[in-house]
A and B are shown apart, each in its own frame.
Chain A
Amino acid sequence: MTAHSTLIDRHERRWIAISAALLASFAVLIGIAGFALGVQVPTLEQRVDPAKLNEDPVWSQPGVREIVPGRKYEVYIIAQTWMFVPREIVVPAGAKVTFYVTSRDIQHGFKVLDTDLNVQVIPGYVGKLSYTFKEPGEYKFICTEYCGLGHAAMAGVIKVVPPEEYQSSQ
């Protein structure tokens, strides 16, 4: 066996080389998906004092803002024990929706089922994340971080409606 003549076995060298190639391909693929195709993690929008959300011009009125009708929307969501404010959101299909999420008290999670929207909700910090809902339908969002006895019931829903319907309902 060659193990006795050299310190690193010939097969093992090859094995490590393959592992390194694997590693490099992971790095490149993730990088492309993230930074070229835009499959991105949440970012920081701003810091806020969670005790003063009611005095803040933006955070005293969470909910949906229309930026460009049918194309661009902003949604402000506050997580608190044990609910989301607001717990029902309506946006049109096909529009780019940017979510801003923060907490009034402790840590929570915000995850929209059947999408890749997912953010750790941290008091003092506003997370920013975007998504385009292509299909109309109901998308549940749930709290994914333990926040006390009411945690398992903390949820809400995003109603994605066809664009025509959305305009007429406004």
Chain B
Amino acid sequence: MGEYTLTRSEKRFIGWHLFIAISALAIGSFYGPMQAFNYAGWNFYPTLKKWHIAESYYQGLTLHGVLNAVVWTTFFITGFLTFNMIYGLKRPLKYPKLNALGFWMMVVGLVLTAYAILANQASVLYTFYPPMKASWIFYLGLVLLVVGSWIEGYGFYFTLHQWKKDNPGVRTPFIAFASVATMVLWQLATLGVAIETLFMLLPWSLGWLEGIDIQLARTFFWWFGHPLVYFWLLPAYISWYGYLPKQAGGKLFSDTMARLAFWLFILLSVPVGFHHQFVDPGVAPGWKYIHALLTLSVVIPSMMTLFTVVASLEYAGIKRGGKGLLGWLAKLPWDDPIVAAQLLAGLLFIFGGIGGVVNASYNTNLILHNTAWVPGHFHLTVSTAVTLTFMGISYWLVPYLTGRELCCRKVALAQVYLWATGMAIFSQAMHSLGLLGAPRRTPLGEAPYVPPEWSGLLLRVGIGGIFLLIAVYMYIWIMAHTAFFGRKAEKPVEVQVAEPMQDVQLTPEWLDAWKPWIAGAVGLILIAYTPVLMELISHMVPVAAPKMKLW
């Protein structure tokens, strides 16, 4: 039986996703180090302004947030999931044209959004909190981006449905199952932001609505904002569960637990948005506490993931000759950039998880809300656990798609370690600054109230930025070199999908059934949100946009 391979046009389709994702990272991640340098007192913004690279710190920050956290992630994810669907089910998409439509809609959305930001009409940051008002083009672009991604998701559903019909009683292969699950989560999540944008922001920015209720808009936003982070994270988990064990030389410890974890994430990701609103006046403390408890429940599937991934790696390490309690750890292929990227991502993610518990813990949030702690936290999660894993994935997926060899393996290995080191330095300093009260979204190099005691930490942020500036462009260079100038590979890349230790058919059928879980997720959302939304909607205070442009 030969390896299943994707057709040329399928490869090209996925390749386009990655091309846009990586291009977005190339631009968006330029501003990160600039921000870090501003903190350290090396302020390049006057020069950036002169060269029209950033009109202000905030235009740069908007580009940084949107291009990294929205564009790099969403395009990479839809591309990677498309690969998982086709390769996992060993069949083409049912309606490739539908998926293509979704993709091009996302591209048009991206162009509109990018235009609005670059024209300095939308320096509202990637959370676009009203009543700061961006150009309507910005909101329209976002809508198209989201709807396009939905359509790609629908394409997955049709494909899975057909596969299930053709394979009754067979468990869906994990990577395909988990990809569809990620899309289901995304659809539940984006409902909130779709309501906010379609019924509030877009008509208001077009002048059809005089004012909107700001607390209500925030509440819809955070219905989306938290599960958004799981939309980023689950594809990294797909790689950790579905590929990494094999890449490290072992097997997936438990297919059953992997699936159960995915279902629990779907149940628990959405009804938790108030943990971003602990200090919002318009949500009652009791509801905030309930959301805190639901958020903390994510401890269970997270700890399950830690267990399963570590157990799979332990098995791999023992097979490679590791002895004793921790001998397996040293035997893992730390010199393979694909594996090292994911191991380092997972390692730093442990600290991200611990920080997350602190964020979610209701009153401890008072200390850190809107401080530098928060970007410190999510540069461990989305910018390391997720981004570094995606980098590791691209080190095999781009060669697979282009039929070219990964250029300069050693450089790739160095890139991975540099990224992890830079982020560790950067994020540790950001966490500490936050505890001292340093606000986020602020050019701290220019803020008059910054006391001299913070300067050591601010310097460390800058030093982390130097590592990361180098690491990000090493990555871009490796990718460009591989995709466009790489040596033609003699034999195709072998796709390393991990086999579970047990027969997949032993996984209970209820873990491969969709309806009960989705119904449960919807039910939880309704319980967690209906009373508060009703209260807000029945007491709306319409607020108009400011008369002048504030950036």
Using a CB–CB cutoff of 8 Å, the interface residues on chain A facing chain B are 1, 3-4, 7-9, 11-12, 15-16, 19-20, 22-23, 26-27, 30-31, 33-35, 39-45, 47-51, 81, 105-107, 109, 111, 113-114, 116-120, 122-128, 140, 142-149, 151-153, 155
Q: What's the minimum C-beta distance from B36 to chain A, rounded to whole angstroms?
A: 16
Q: List 22 A-B contacts (CB under 8 A).
A: A3-B502, A4-B501, A4-B502, A7-B256, A7-B507, A8-B254, A8-B257, A12-B308, A16-B300, A27-B293, A30-B362, A39-B363, A41-B365, A106-B131, A111-B371, A111-B439, A118-B367, A122-B214, A127-B280, A142-B439, A147-B550, A152-B443
A162 to B370, CA, bound (A): 31
Residue of B nearest to A140 (CB): B449
Using a CB–CB cutoff of 8 Å, the interface residues on chain B facing chain A are 56, 58, 61, 125, 129-132, 213-215, 218, 253-254, 256-257, 277-282, 284-285, 288-289, 292-293, 296-297, 299-300, 303-304, 307-308, 311, 357, 361-367, 369-371, 436-437, 439-444, 446-449, 501-502, 506-508, 539, 541, 543-544, 546, 550-551
**CB atoms of A3 and B501 under 8 A apart:** yes
**CB atoms of B281 and A107 under 8 A apart:** no
A16 to B303, CA, bound (A): 7
**CB atoms of B439 and A144 under 8 A apart:** yes
Q: Which of B129, B361, B447, B501 contacts A152, CB < 8 Å?
A: B447
A114 to B140, CA, bound (A): 42
A45 to B284, CA, bound (A): 11
A25 to B235, CA, bound (A): 30
The interface residues of chain A lying within 8 Å CB-to-CB of B280 are 42, 120, 122, 125, 127
**CB atoms of B58 and A12 under 8 A apart:** no
**CB atoms of B546 and A122 under 8 A apart:** no
> Nearest 3 pairs between A and B by C-beta?
A148-B550, A124-B541, A127-B281
**CB atoms of A149 and B551 under 8 A apart:** yes
A30 to B275, CA, bound (A): 13
The interface residues of chain B lying within 8 Å CB-to-CB of A149 are 56, 58, 550-551
The interface residues of chain B lying within 8 Å CB-to-CB of A26 are 296, 299, 357, 361
The interface residues of chain A lying within 8 Å CB-to-CB of B282 are 44, 122, 125
Residue of A nearest to B299 (CB): A23
Q: With A106-B132, A111-B439, A118-B366 in contact, do A42 and B279 touch (Cβ < 8 Å)?
A: yes
